[in-house]
Copies of this chain bind each other. A is one copy, B any other.
Amino acid sequence: MYPSIPDVETGEVTRLIMQQRAKATRAAVIEGAASIFEEVGYGNASLSDVTERASVTKGALYFHFKSKENLALAVIAEQHNIVRVAGEKIAAAGLPALQTMIAMCRTFGQQLLDEPIVRAGIRLTFEASAFNADVKGPYSDWVATMEMLTHQAQLEGDVRPDVVAADFARYLVASFTGVQMVSNVLTERRDVLKRIDDMWRFMMPAIAPVRPQDSGTP
């Protein structure tokens, strides 16, 4: 007989169930926090609002997050993750790189309309200086992704070879950031998808390859 085995298994099952529960609680807290941060901003959010919205105890919240700042950073991380996963799905579709870049921007725009965690994460990213959070990471990530895609688009002949990929990627990310931010300030994002399309229209001529009929030597 191996009396210790069922014990170990029961212990293992219990551990897995508890892990599962802890994970679910953490997700519920992040979701509740996102909804509160999105509504009232970092400064006006209180942790007791979050526990109430998430239907968890204060103890459960503090088990996962030491402070409001900690919780805000987790919402930003989760937002970045959601947008990145969507971006990876688009990349996996195997479209040409330039189309991939455009689709990523449009999808991010749509998520700003539909996904509470994305809306909250972006609001917190803009407010980050108010709580001294370092938000370099997500920006650097996007610049790196867009630089890689710009290089690929150059190989595919959709972006002129003399465009400096690093400069264009940085400009695209900065421009997108401003476009959605100003759309939020002026129209509560009602026109964000149109403004993202405008952005691409205003950028495209700078990167589009020179066609033979444009060169002046037909």
A residues with CB within 8 A of B: 40-44, 123, 126-127, 129-132, 135-136, 139-140, 143, 167-168, 170-171, 173-179, 181-183, 185-186, 195, 198-199, 201-207, 213-214, 216, 218
Contact = CB atoms under 8 A, between A and B. Distances in A.
Given A132-B44, A216-B213, A206 B195 contact: no
Contacts of A201: 206
20 contacts: A41-B131, A43-B43, A43-B130, A126-B127, A130-B130, A135-B185, A136-B185, A170-B198, A173-B178, A174-B179, A174-B182, A177-B181, A178-B178, A181-B181, A203-B203, A203-B206, A204-B206, A205-B206, A206-B206, A214-B214
Q: How many copies does the complex hold?
A: 2
Contact of A195 (B130, B171, B181): B171
A80 B175 CA distance: 21
A179 B143 CA distance: 13
Contacts of A214: 214, 216
